[in-house]
Chain A
């Protein structure tokens, strides 16, 4: 019987494994207990966030003399808050580790392929049904039943395919879920009894859950409450949802007898950012963290250590030789494409692979890598130009490029910096937790925050309910661009700082931390203040910006404290 405990919660991978091996009923019981625990936790967290929100508003009220409950913005901001945070928290707390956290994957290659295909079809069906439902109901509200039917039948499969298309393409290009399992991974799966649990981290759950709920809650709200102009609070709640715009555009356009794809396309292209991202994360977890590094979680390690195991047989000469050559081959097996590696968050914690990456990068980037980096920067520049001139179609193309190229590019830089840092750190004898911390912070920052910025920016609406596509001028764009540029830069500075140049225990180290940390704390405060003063609608950007920077800052400190004099 598996008892629920805080420790157990943090050691899900190992515990799940053990529990499933011993007793499936134990898992059911664990889930049930966890559900209630998480429900309470989500309510508490929701209360905390709402409390902070209300407090913030009270402060804002004193500045602007805007009546608390009379303010339209109060509800608008509240809707943003609910849209972005509450579902995410609830998802994380309630569903995070009981649903998607546990995908059972068969070990056999052909079974795995069938499993992947089944999942793909199920996914396609589910999304088609979802869109059918949305379009049908929405169409019935805004148009007559004929238009509703046409919209549903035509639009739903198209949207479903569009939704899933990027993932399919990217999987095909870079992964091939069912076919690219390495023999070693299969062996590991087999050694673990033919199944494996995928445990998503908290951050992955937040992103994944946020994404899913946003697109479930949005259309649901549209369906229920319709035109947002006539329902202030709920309308404000809804006006952020892209599906609302899409449905509106589709419905109205069909009624007018023409297709206007612009807004729908925005949504489709937005998917390029997220779908590959979260699928990639799942895949990454499937492939590396749990397979190659079983029990890599230090907490899980403790659990594993506490679990009685059969004593290891003493090694002999042959087994040592064999083990060494196998360890080397683990390195050598890492031959996937660089972009694929980065796109799917291939920056695993497996040290050997990191060393290989570092070694590769030390020897200089290959032509392909240079191409991607250049292309990525080019895309970024084009993108910024596009939003500056408000050239919508141009921006759509640039967005695609950005999604496909910029994030991998940032990740490339991450690998370069971290890999180098890791290797030189090892060579010098610095502590390993430092590297692990840097790795964790690095990919979280890049893969979670940047898409978040992109996403928020894409669906920003102004006070009139118009979609801005991007806040073109003013402090909002300043905040956004600052986030885009400064966040990776901050990460790089962090790495630089912790790579031994300025030792945290030295006066210089602390001076750096305080100076840069001061900047990172002051920057969001100033930007946020200015943003709220000039255009309160840009509040979500500021919020993400501030949260991201805050996380970054604390990560710094954490990393700094982890480093000890060699």
Chain B
């Protein structure tokens, strides 16, 4: 999937969440969206998922503007919010079945795939439990299982590393995401953990106050920076410093 944003702009009253953001995502990329709280990361994901109508600009998939009410478009992506949308009173199996059926992935052999994933995420014993009886991390892993089973072209994940998943779950997720990227899936996720971003992503998108400060492969950023490995940390330090200076000037 070739995903592109062109002059994407979105405001919430007087706050500009995204300001003419133009990005191009290639298939098979794992992109980390970084930014301070309120920078516009989640808004970007929501725009890419078609959940939010931008005030200006647009999102193009394979060169075509997205049609928000078209199931065909929706089926090509899945958004995992930080608190996944699930049916809390229903069992994990039913939740997974609903997901699979929604995406029309209820194909022969899917049961085996789901069982395998549930085992991998240590969820098999809880498969018949209702979601509201599970911990947050377990619930997240349950829905993540659905995402991996569906395997859409575009994975959008909001703060997956702050979802309550245990280390084994996180490792499994990383493995699956990397395999998916090799299959040409585009994975865009947000995080506040710079170490994860550095180790897990091929490309980094730093958003600050609705503007894209940096959108480049990590290696490129490191090569062009004096600080090398600590490039992201340094970048955020500079942004913070600029903000403080701007505040002083304004005062």
A interface, by DSSP: helix, strand, loop or mixed?
A: helix
Q: Out of A296, A428, A565, which one reaches B74, CB within 8 Å?
A: A428
The answer on a CB contact under 8 Å between A324 and B114 is: yes
Q: Is B111 an interface position by the 8 A CB rule?
A: yes
In the complex, chain B residues 10-68 whose Cβ is within 8 Å of any chain A Cβ: 12-13, 42, 46, 49-53, 68
In this complex, what residue of A is CB-closest to B75? Answer: A427
How far is B93's CA from A325's CA once the two chains are assembled, in angstroms? 10
In the complex, chain A residues 288-330 whose Cβ is within 8 Å of any chain B Cβ: 295-296, 298, 301, 305, 312-317, 319-321, 323-325, 327-328
Q: Is A364 an interface position by the 8 A CB rule?
A: no
Q: Is B112 an interface position by the 8 A CB rule?
A: yes
Residues of chain A contacted by B129 (CB below 8 angstroms) = 312
Residues of chain B contacted by A430 (CB below 8 angstroms) = 51, 85
In this complex, what residue of B is CB-closest to A298? Answer: B89
How far is B16's CA from A507's CA once the two chains are assembled, in angstroms? 13
> With A321-B112, A500-B68 given, is the CB distance from A314 to B125 under 8 Å?
yes
Residues of chain B contacted by A313 (CB below 8 angstroms) = 128
The answer on a CB contact under 8 Å between B127 and A331 is: no
The answer on a CB contact under 8 Å between A320 and B104 is: no
Q: Is A72 an interface position by the 8 A CB rule?
A: no
The answer on a CB contact under 8 Å between B128 and A323 is: yes
Q: Give chain A nearest CB distance to B153 CB in angstroms.
A: 13
How far is B75's CA from A276's CA once the two chains are assembled, in angstroms? 38
Residues of chain B contacted by A312 (CB below 8 angstroms) = 128-129
Residues of chain B contacted by A426 (CB below 8 angstroms) = 85, 98-99, 102
Residues of chain B contacted by A359 (CB below 8 angstroms) = 104
Instruction: Please report the total number of A residues contacting B with Cβ < 8 Å.
Output: 48
How far is B129's CA from A436's CA once the two chains are assembled, in angstroms? 22
Q: Is A502 an interface position by the 8 A CB rule?
A: yes
> With A312-B129, A328-B97, A500-B68 given, is the CB distance from A317 to B115 under 8 Å?
yes
The answer on a CB contact under 8 Å between A566 and B49 is: yes
> With A315-B128, A503-B53 given, is the CB distance from A431 to B97 under 8 Å?
no
The answer on a CB contact under 8 Å between A301 and B89 is: yes
Q: Give chain B nearest CB distance to A492 CB in angstroms.
A: 13
Please choose the segment from B76-84, B176-184, B237-245 that sits at the chain A interface, where 4 or more of its residues have CB less than 8 A away.
B76-84
Q: Give chain A nearest CB distance to B106 CB in angstroms.
A: 6
Q: Is B118 an interface position by the 8 A CB rule?
A: yes
Residues of chain B contacted by A432 (CB below 8 angstroms) = 85-87
Q: Is A411 an interface position by the 8 A CB rule?
A: no
Residues of chain B contacted by A499 (CB below 8 angstroms) = 69
Q: Out of B74, B89, B124, B127, which one reaches A424, CB within 8 Å?
A: B74
**Chain B window 165-208, contacts with chain A (Cβ cutoff 8 Å), 1 for yes, 0 for no:** 00000000000000000000000000000000000000000000
> With A312-B129, A328-B106, A331-B101 given, is the CB distance from A429 to B49 under 8 Å?
yes
Residues of chain A contacted by B69 (CB below 8 angstroms) = 420, 424, 499, 501
In this complex, what residue of B is CB-closest to A431? Answer: B85
Residues of chain A contacted by B112 (CB below 8 angstroms) = 321
Q: Which residues of A contact B (CB under 8 A)?
A: 295-296, 298, 301, 305, 312-317, 319-321, 323-325, 327-328, 331, 351-352, 355-356, 358-359, 362, 420, 423-424, 426-432, 499-503, 505-508, 565-566
28 contacts between A and B (CB under 8 A): A305-B132, A314-B125, A315-B93, A315-B125, A317-B124, A319-B128, A320-B93, A320-B118, A320-B124, A321-B111, A324-B110, A327-B97, A331-B101, A351-B87, A351-B98, A352-B98, A355-B101, A427-B71, A427-B77, A428-B49, A430-B85, A500-B51, A500-B68, A505-B12, A506-B12, A506-B53, A566-B51, A566-B52
